[in-house]
Amino acid sequence: MLYAILCYNNEDVVCAWSQEQDDEVMARLAVVTGKLRDQGRLGPVARLMPTTAATTLRKAKDEPLIIDGPFAETKEQFLGFYVVDCETLDDAVDVAKELADANPGGGSYELRPIGAFFPGKETA
Amino acid sequence: MTDPAWISTALSSARPQAVAALLRYFRDLDTAEEAFQEACLRALRNWPEKGPPRDPAAWLIFVGRNSGIDAARRRSKQAPLPAEELVSDLEDVEAGIAERLDGQHYRDDILRLLFICCHPDLPATQQVALALRIVSGLSVKQIARAFLVGESAMEQRITRAKARIANADVPFEAPGPVERSERVAAVLAMVYLVFNEGYSAGATEIANRAPLCEEAIRLARLLLRLFQTEPEVMGLTALLLLQHARAAARFNAEGELVLMEDQDRSLWNRSLIDEGLALIDKAMRHRRSGPYQIQAAIAALHARAARPEDTDWAEIDLLYSVLESMTPSPVVTLNRAVAFAKLRGPEAALKLIEPLAPKLAGYFHFFGVKGGLLMQLGRAEEAREAFDRAIALANTAAEAAHIRMHLDRLSAPSPKSVKANTKAPSSQLQ
């Protein structure tokens, strides 16, 4: 079974880390992920940019609403994600619109640029 | 993550929120700061054992408010409130406060705290010093070092500035929309000032001053989290990120200023650039342009160019012309001249800046740019004159050294240095 492990933390605090503190955290995490990589078990790893860089597309009756900022509702649950290479935010919004059209339900899509990405092994 | 260094990072990240909320409770800056200090001391005692709380700001506000009330009661000889260790439902209280923190109230608290630092009676440097002390929580010593003055002089300056704003009477009611947007504009300008204090430093001061750039970025991010739909807040944050991304490449090993086109672009900080580009992209979608967005867009074009020759000068020139019409200023025109020279040659650029001479007679960059253009045109004698003026007006040793390098090339007319002389002039924004 493939598991997605999602990280949550206080962004104010994490953004206040000094470069040294950040490097220290990343080095400690690399020990954990390195072990998994050696075992051939590590898939893609992404570090997202701060939520200030996020845009949210919320499905509405007609045109979907585009809202600045991260997804902030508690009534909906996190169901899945895509990683798409986009030239601009407009392109990403277009992709999300297409997905929203194809998806019969309501819901939202948060578009968050990825700060650092490690593809990891091919997982079939 | 319970050792002092990590706790102190958590405390300083919570500071703007906590001091801002405490200011609303106590309506007095000194009391709010004291209450925050006390809460921090208790955090340092408590957190190593119990681990940091999930919401440090809410914890500090709660404990700070109690200790402030406690202190007031002690002064009036009443019974003290229970210590926070005895408050069993702190977790619940925290949740309640955290919820309120998300509201408008909280946003206006922080805005007010930042805004009182931009009081129009305060000169720019005092605004910056006050914001660094009150909002960012830098020590007087750190601020004094950044401004190259003694600690006691800075202490005095901050005390005087505080006394001034104590009488400023910034209302505690929630501001109306117009007032709010005026406050945001004033605060953005102050954050930009903080950044420039750090950015305009020479190589020798950069170690002491670079933290100002980082503080400014932190404040910009904070504002952006509070005003997520304001394109100018996105623009300023993007601008600061994109400028700061070049920090490692701006000085060489000898401490001399390196022009953007000579910078080693592999030293540019990719992750800051990426975040800046993402933000400017986001801002542009609003189609509500503003000076910070335009400047960020210019910085973005530089950041996007893999090599100097890939720079889109036509677009940069266009953006400067928009900026000129938005905020007419001789300094903007001077910056435009650099793009102008690339597009239409040094002669045209010289024509563009000549009318600025009376207004920029005391401006280092004017003579730097002018000398550079004259040098490109082979008018060595006039170039030397302009460079001499620039050196006389230089603000930092690095600026003077940079111009001296041009002068040396002028007086050593070997074929090699003539070629080197065709460098573009430096610009303030670069």
Structure confidence by residue, pLDDT tens digits, B112-157: 899 888 888 888 888 889 999 999 898 899 888 888 788 999 999 9
Residue with tokens 């990240």: B13
- Pairwise pLDDT comparison (B165 vs B393), residue with the higher score: B393
pLDDT attached to residue B406: 85
Rg (chain A; Cα; Å): 17
Using the Cβ of A89 and the Cβ atoms of chain B, whether some distance falls under 8 Å is answered with: yes
pLDDT of B179 higher than 90:
no
Residue with tokens 């997982």: A123
Please tell me whether residues A37 and A51 are part of one structural domain: no
Yes or no, beta carbons of A10 and B5 under 8 Å apart: no
The segment with the largest mean pLDDT, out of B45-59, B80-94, B274-288, is B274-288
Please tell me whether residues A39 and A56 are part of one structural domain: no
| B162-172 pLDDT, tens digit each | 888 877 777 77
ipTM exceeds 0.85: yes
Please tell me whether residues A19 and A61 are part of one structural domain: no
| B193-251 pLDDT, tens digit each | 899 888 877 767 777 777 889 999 999 999 999 899 999 999 999 999 999 999 999 98
Residue with tokens 């006050």: B130
CA-nearest residue to A22 within chain B is B6
Yes or no, beta carbons of A49 and B56 under 8 Å apart: no
The closest CB to that of B271, out of A16, A18, A115, belongs to A115
* Residue A34 domain flag: yes
pLDDT of B423 higher than 50:
no
Using the Cβ of B172 and the Cβ atoms of chain A, whether some distance falls under 8 Å is answered with: no
Please tell me whether residues A38 and A51 are part of one structural domain: no
The closest CB to that of A68, out of B10, B221, B282, belongs to B282
Q: What is the percentage of chain B residues whose pLDDT exceeds 70?
A: 88
Residue extents of the structural domains in chain B:
4-102, 104-228, 355-420
pLDDT attached to residue B94: 53
pLDDT confidence bin for B412, thresholds 50/70/90: low
Please tell me whether residues A37 and A92 are part of one structural domain: no
The mean pLDDT of B29-39, rounded to a whole number, is 93
Size of interface A-B (CB pairs under 8 A): 67
Q: Which domain holds residue A94?
A: 47-119
Please tell me whether residues A73 and A111 are part of one structural domain: yes
Contacts of B237 in chain A (CB under 8 A): 52
Closest CA to B385 of B395, B397, B394, B375: B375
What phi and psi values does residue B367 have, to the nearest 5 degrees?
A: -75, -30
Average pLDDT, chain A: 91
Contacts of B281 in chain A (CB under 8 A): 88-90
Tell me how far CA of residue B71 lies from CA of B26, B32, B86, B134, B306, in angstroms.
12, 12, 18, 21, 59
Dihedral Cα B312, B315, B321, B322, nearest 10 deg? -130
The closest CB to that of A49, out of B6, B275, B285, belongs to B275
pLDDT attached to residue A24: 94
Using the Cβ of A66 and the Cβ atoms of chain B, whether some distance falls under 8 Å is answered with: yes
Please tell me whether residues A51 and A76 are part of one structural domain: yes
pLDDT confidence bin for A121, thresholds 50/70/90: confident
pLDDT attached to residue B396: 79
Using the Cβ of B15 and the Cβ atoms of chain A, whether some distance falls under 8 Å is answered with: no
pLDDT confidence bin for B426, thresholds 50/70/90: very low
Please tell me whether residues A52 and A30 are part of one structural domain: no
Average pLDDT, chain B: 85
The closest CB to that of B278, out of A11, A16, A53, belongs to A53
pLDDT confidence bin for B410, thresholds 50/70/90: confident
Please tell me whether residues A90 and A37 are part of one structural domain: no
- Pairwise pLDDT comparison (B85 vs B106), residue with the higher score: B106
pLDDT attached to residue B177: 87
Q: How many angstroms separate the CA atoms of B368 and B400, rounded?
A: 10
The mean pLDDT of A81-98, rounded to a whole number, is 95
Yes or no, beta carbons of A13 and B55 under 8 Å apart: no
pLDDT of B252 higher than 70:
yes
pLDDT of B106 higher than 80:
no
pLDDT of A40 higher than 60:
yes
Please tell me whether residues A58 and A104 are part of one structural domain: yes
Residues 6+ positions from B120 with CB-CB distance below 8 Å: none
Using the Cβ of B12 and the Cβ atoms of chain A, whether some distance falls under 8 Å is answered with: yes
What DSSP state is assigned to residue B268?
A: S
pLDDT of B377 higher than 70:
yes
The mean pLDDT of B176-187, rounded to a whole number, is 89
The closest CB to that of A16, out of B13, B54, B55, belongs to B13
Using the Cβ of A85 and the Cβ atoms of chain B, whether some distance falls under 8 Å is answered with: no
Q: Which of residues 269 through 288 in chain B touch A, CB cutoff 8 A?
A: 271, 274-275, 278-279, 281-282, 285
* Residue A124 domain flag: no
Please tell me whether residues A54 and A99 are part of one structural domain: yes
| B305-316 pLDDT, tens digit each | 999 999 999 999
The mean pLDDT of A72-94, rounded to a whole number, is 91
What are all long-range contacts of A16-25, with beta carbons under 8 Å and residues at least 24 apart? A16/B9, A16/B10, A16/B12, A16/B13, A16/B218, A17/B9, A18/B9, A21/B5, A21/B6, A21/B9
Q: Are B343 and B321 a contacting pair, CB within 8 Å? A: no
The segment with the largest mean pLDDT, out of A61-70, B120-129, B170-179, B371-380, is B371-380
Q: What is the percentage of chain A residues whose pLDDT exceeds 70?
A: 98
pLDDT confidence bin for B427, thresholds 50/70/90: very low
Q: How many angstroms separate the CA atoms of A104 and B338, rounded?
A: 53
Q: Are B138 and B148 a contacting pair, CB within 8 Å? A: no
* Residue A59 domain flag: yes
pLDDT confidence bin for B85, thresholds 50/70/90: low
* Residue A57 domain flag: yes
pLDDT attached to residue B96: 52
* Residue A77 domain flag: yes
Please tell me whether residues A28 and A57 are part of one structural domain: no
pLDDT attached to residue B81: 59
What phi and psi values does residue B424 have, to the nearest 5 degrees?
A: -70, 150
Tell me how far CA of residue B268 lies from CA of A75, B201, B245, B250, in angstroms.
42, 18, 5, 9
Length, in residues, of chain B: 430
The number of domains in chain A is 2
Q: Does domain B4-102 have CATH number 1.10.1740?
A: yes
Of the listed ranges A106-120, B360-374, B404-418, the least confidently predicted one is B404-418
pLDDT confidence bin for B2, thresholds 50/70/90: low
pLDDT of B420 higher than 80:
no
